[in-house]
Amino acid sequence: MAPILVTGAAGFVGFHVCQKLLRQGENVVGVDNLNHYYDPTLKDARLAQLTPEPQFSFHRGDLADRPQLESIFQQSQCDRVIHLAAQAGVRYSIENPHVYGDSNLTGFLNILECCRQQKIKHLVFASSSSVYGGNTKVPFAVEDAVDRPVSLYAATKRANELMAYTYGHLYQLAATGLRFFTVYGPWGRPDMAYFSFTKAILAGKPIAVFNQGQMERDFTYIDDVVEGVIRVLHHPPEMNPDPAHLSPAQSDPAVPFKLYNIGNHQPIALLRFIEVLETCLGCTAIKEFLPMQSGDVVKTYADVSALMNDVGFCPDTSIEEGLSRFVAWYRDYYPV
C-alpha cells in the first residue's frame, strides 16, 4: 500500500494518529520541524515511540520550505495526507503573528500545491473550533457562518478551509477539514490549560482561572479525535453526490470538500473540569480568578451530527475517564 503522509507527526495529535495507523498496518511517513514552541524534549520522546516501527519513516522539515516539502512528497510516493502541523495557540498569535503566516498560511499553501502535483487522493487537515469566533448560537454546526474570528490563529484556520475549498473547485482535490474542540489527554501539549494546571496543582502553586471561571469547553479526549480523523480519512468527499442526501458537511455538491466538527458535544464548565482534575490528582487547586483574555471565547459546543451521519462516529469519552488516563500518564512521564 502507498504510505500515508502525516505532518506534525511529533505533535500531540499527530503522534497519536501515527501510532494508530501503524497498529492498523499502514506505512506512515512523518514530517515535523520539531520547533521550540513548547518543550522539544516532549516531541523527541513522542518521536522515540514511533521511530523503532519498521513501517514508519521520518523527515525533519519546515512546511514553509517549499523545495524541501516537494522533495519529501516525491520521495514518499504517498497517496493520502493527514495534515496536522500548524503553529498552535490563540494568545501566542497575538504576540507572534508572523509565525502564523509562515506556518499556517504559506505552509498550508505548500501542502495544497504538493497534493495537487502528486495527485493525492485525499487530504485531511486540522482546523479548529476557534473558527466559530464570536458566534453565540450553540451548538456550533458546520453550516454556521464563521466570519467573526477573534484571534489571528482562528483567522488562519478559517483561511485554510477556504483555500482547501478553492483547490477542490479548481483542481478537484478531495479535502476534508476537521474542526477540533479542546483536545486533551496523555502526551498532550504543555501550553494547554489542563497540562499547566496539573503541573501547578502538584507543585502547590496557584492556577490562573480566566473570566472568573465562567467558561465552558467541549473537552475532547485524544483517542476520540484520532478515531474521527482515521474514519474520515477512509471517506473522501466526492463530486456531485445525490443532492437529496447531501450532508451539511458538504455544502457544495460540485466540489469534493467537507467540514466536520470533532468534539465531545457536551460542554463542561471550567470549574467542574478543575474539580475532576483535583479528584484525579488527590490535591486541591489554589485558584487565582482573573478577567477574560484577549482572543478567548466563553463557550465552545460541537454539533457532531454531520460526523455521525457520514462516518457513524461521535466522541463520548467522559472527562472523568479522560483526565484519569492523563494523570496516570503524567505521573509516569514526570515522576511526581
1: Cβ contacts below 8 Å, ≥ 6 apart: 26, 27
pLDDT in tens, 145-186: 999 999 999 999 999 999 999 999 999 999 999 999 999 999
pLDDT in tens, 78-95: 999 999 999 988 888 888
pLDDT in tens, 98-153: 999 999 999 999 999 999 999 999 999 999 999 999 898 999 999 999 999 999 99
Please state, rounded to an integer, the average pLDDT across all residues of the chain. 95
d(CA 153, CA 314): 26
Closest CA to 26 of 49, 48, 6: 6
SS3 call for 193 = helix
pLDDT in tens, 34-73: 999 998 999 999 999 999 999 999 999 999 999 999 999 9
Residues serving a catalytic function are 153
The answer to whether residues 126 and 178 touch, using CB atoms and an 8 Å cutoff, is yes
The answer to whether residues 9 and 47 touch, using CB atoms and an 8 Å cutoff, is yes
The answer to whether residues 60 and 7 touch, using CB atoms and an 8 Å cutoff, is no
Please name each of the domains of the chain with its CATH number. Answer: 4-183+220-263+301-315 (3.40.50.720)
Copy the grid coordinates of residue 254.
Answer: 460540485
**At residue 56, what are phi and psi to the nearest 5 degrees?**
-115, 130
- Full DSSP string of 186-243: TT--TTSHHHHHHHHHHTT-EEEEGGGG--EE--EEHHHHHHHHHHHHTS---SS--G
pLDDT in tens, 205-262: 999 999 888 899 999 999 999 999 999 999 999 987 676 678 899 989 999 999 999 9
